[in-house]
Structure 1
Amino acid sequence: MQHFLLSAAARTLSLKKVYQMGEGKAYQTFCELRWPETEGEAVCPKCGCVETYNISTRRKFKCVACHHQFSVTSGTIFASRKMSFTDLLAAIVIFVNGAKGVSALQMSRDLDVQYKTAFVLAHKLREAMQAEQATAKLDGIIEIDGAYFGGHVRQENHKADRKDRRLAMNQTGKRQCVVVMRERGGSALPFVVRHEGDAVPYVRDHVGTLATLHADEASSWDVLHAGWQTWRINHSVAFSDEGACTNQAESYFSRLRRMEVGTHHHIAGPYLRSYAGEAAWREDNRRVDNGSQAMLVAGAAMASGVSRQWAGYWQR
C-alpha cells in the first residue's frame, strides 16, 4: 500500500502555484483567513465595525465608525511585516512541506532573505502552531512517555581521557526532558521539564479523570495509578503486551529526534518547547494534504496576536 506522503492526494499546493497566483490573489487569501466570517471583508480590530473604507493605494482599511486605519496583518503575528504576501505564503508552504521540519538556513536560501528573517518567521509560525495546545484537554486512551534532548557532551579524543557521561558530574546541566501525552486517534501534547517525574502536575491539568493511561515501567509514573486506570509496559521485555504500549509516543519522539539530529542539528534550551510543539503539530496533521496544512498554519497565525517574544527580536 502506498504511503500517504507519496500519493498525489498529499500534494495540493506547491510553490509554483503560489507564485502563479500573484500578489493580488495571495493578499486576498490572507484577507479571507483573517476575516472568514465576512468572506474576507475587513472588520475593524479596534471597535468591531464591519463598515470600512478600502485604501487601495496602500492596501489598508479605514473604519467608518472610529476612523482607525489598519491592514490585514495589523494586530496579528505578522504585524509590521516587510515581506510580500506572495513570499509570506510561499514561506508557509516551504515550512509545512518539511515532514521533519525545515531549517531556517534552507528557508532563507529558498526565499532569498536574511537568515535572521527566516529564523524569526519560522519561530512565529511555531508559536501559532502551539496556540491550541495551551488549553488542550485529552481523554480516552492516552500514552505518556519522556525523552531527553540537548546538552550533548562530546567525548575526549583519547580513551584514557574519556568520562562516564551518565554521571551528573560529567553532564552540562542543559539536558531537558520532553514529556508527551498522546491520545490515540487524537492529538499530542508535549511539555518540557527538568526530570520526567516533573510532568505529573501537567497530567492532572490536561487529562480527564476517566482516561486510561499507558506508560512504561519508569518509577516516575507510579503516582498515576492513584488518579487513573494505568497500564504499564516493560520495554526490556516487549514493546507491546496485551494492548499496553507507548508506540504512539515513541513515534512522536522519533520525529522530534530526527528534527534535532537531521534538520536543525542543535536545539538551544529556551527554544526546545517550540520545536516540541511543532513536532506535535506535524504528528497530528501527518495525514493532511500540504495545502490544508498551509491554510491551517496561516489561519492560526492570522488569529494569533502580536508575538511578545518575537516582535522586534533582533532589535532587542
Structure 2
Amino acid sequence: MTQHFLLSAASKTLKLKDIYQGGEDAAYAKFCALRWPENDGEAVCPRCGCCEAYSIKSRRKFECKACKHHFSVTSGTIFASRKLSFMDILAAICILANAAKGVSSIQLSRDLGVQYRTAFVLAHKVREAIATETTETVLDDECEIDGAYFGGAVRPHNIEAKRVDRRLKENRSPKRRVVIALRERNGRTLTKVARREAEGVEFAMERLDRTARLNADEASHWDALEMIFPLKRINHSEAYSLNGACTNQAESYFSRLRRMVGGQHHHVSAQYLHQYAAHAAWLADHCRESNGALANRIVRNAMTVPVSRQWKGYWQRHAAA
C-alpha cells in the first residue's frame, strides 16, 4: 500500500533540532538568502536599490555604498524592530508550519521560552504575512462557495423558565460571525469574515473570473450568482454530492478551521477571526508540501510584507488605552 505523503520522509525536511544546532549564524544566513534571492543573499539597499553595501558585522547591519543608508535584513519588513534572535523566529516559524491545526499562543510561548504577549504578536505577524499570498488572487476554475458561523455562543440561563430560543435572530450574540470560503478545486482557498452569509455574493463577484464554474448549496442568496456564473446546486437535506455538484472541499476547510478554533485556540475574537481563517486556508492549500518548504514560504512572505500597522506596538497601545 502506498504511503501517505505526510507520513513519508519527503514531508519532513526541517527539524527544530537542526535550527538550534545550526545556531544564530545559520538562521541569519537563511533570512538573508530568502530576503535577497536575486543577489545570492547579498544585501540590497531598500532605499536606493544599490547592490553593494558594507557589512557591519558587530551589529548585523549594512551600510549602503551609494546612499550611506543603514539597514538590516528585516528593515522595512513585518519583522522590523525585532527583539527575538533569528534562531528563535525561525524556530517559531517551524512550529507554526508543523502544526496542521495551528498552535495556541500560550503553547508557542512555552516552546520558545518567551512571554505570552511576544508569542501572540509573533504568531499574528506570521498570519498577516501568509495571508498576502492570496490578496490579488482571482479563481477561474471549478469552485465551491459556502459559509460557516463562528463565535457568539449564547449560554442558556441557569433557570429553565428564563431560557430563550437561541435560534431566533433577536436572541443571538452580536459577536457571531460567518466565515465565507471560496475554494477552487485543487487550487486556492479565499476567505472573508462577515455578519451575514449573503455578503458572499459580492465576495464571489469580486474574486471569481467570469469563466469560473461554481458550486453552492440551496441557500436563496446564492440565486443572484446564477445569472453570472455556471452554477450547480446541491440540497444537503437530500445528498452531500449529486451529479458532480457538491461543496465538500469548502466543508473540508471549515472542518479544519473548527478544529483549529475549538481544539487549539478555544476562543477567537471576531476582531481577529479573519486572520485565523486565512491561516487555516493557507494550511489547507499547502498541506502536500514539506515542512521545510512551508517554513521557507513563510519567511519569503514575511520578507516582502511591510511593517504591520496593526501589530507593531500592539501591547503598548493596549496598555495606554
The normalised TM-score by structure 1 is 0.98
TM-aligned CA deviation for residue 222 of structure 1: 0.5
After TM superposition, the structure 1 stretch with the greater mean CA deviation from structure 2, 305-314 or 3-12, is: 3-12
Where 2:34 maps in the other structure, the secondary structure is helix
The correspondence of residues 1-316 of structure 1 with structure 2, limited to 5 A, is 1-316=2-317
Letter in 2 for 1:96: A
Aligned residues: 316
Write the distance in 1 (CA, Å) between the matches of 2:168 and 2:120: 35
Letter in 2 for 1:274: Q
Write the distance in 1 (CA, Å) between the matches of 2:242 and 2:115: 51
Write the distance in 2 (CA, Å) between the matches of 1:249 and 1:160: 39
TM-aligned CA deviation for residue 10 of structure 1: 1.4
Letter in 2 for 1:281: W
Structure 1: runs of 5 or more not aligned = none
After TM superposition, the structure 1 stretch with the greater mean CA deviation from structure 2, 156-165 or 51-60, is: 156-165
Please list the CA deviations of residues 87-142 of structure 1 after superposition, one character each: whole Å capped at 9, or x if unmatched.
11001001111100000000000000000000000000000011122211001100
The share of aligned pairs that are identical, in percent, is: 59
Where 1:297 maps in the other structure, the secondary structure is helix
TM-aligned CA deviation for residue 27 of structure 1: 0.4
Please list the CA deviations of residues 27-61 of structure 1 after superposition, one character each: whole Å capped at 9, or x if unmatched.
00000011010011000000000110001111100
TM-aligned CA deviation for residue 160 of structure 1: 3.2
Write the distance in 2 (CA, Å) between the matches of 1:10 and 1:34: 24
TM-aligned CA deviation for residue 6 of structure 1: 2.2
Write the distance in 2 (CA, Å) between the matches of 1:158 and 1:234: 38
Write the distance in 1 (CA, Å) between the matches of 2:141 and 2:302: 29
Write the distance in 2 (CA, Å) between the matches of 1:254 and 1:102: 16
- State the Cα RMSD in Å: 0.9
The normalised TM-score by structure 2 is 0.97
Write the distance in 2 (CA, Å) between the matches of 1:3 and 1:261: 26
Write the distance in 1 (CA, Å) between the matches of 2:21 and 2:133: 32
After TM superposition, the structure 1 stretch with the greater mean CA deviation from structure 2, 193-202 or 154-163, is: 154-163
Write the distance in 1 (CA, Å) between the matches of 2:215 and 2:8: 33
Structure 2: runs of 5 or more not aligned = none
Please list the CA deviations of residues 208-249 of structure 1 after superposition, one character each: whole Å capped at 9, or x if unmatched.
101110000011101110101000000000000011000000
Write the distance in 2 (CA, Å) between the matches of 1:247 and 1:208: 21
Write the distance in 1 (CA, Å) between the matches of 2:98 and 2:160: 43
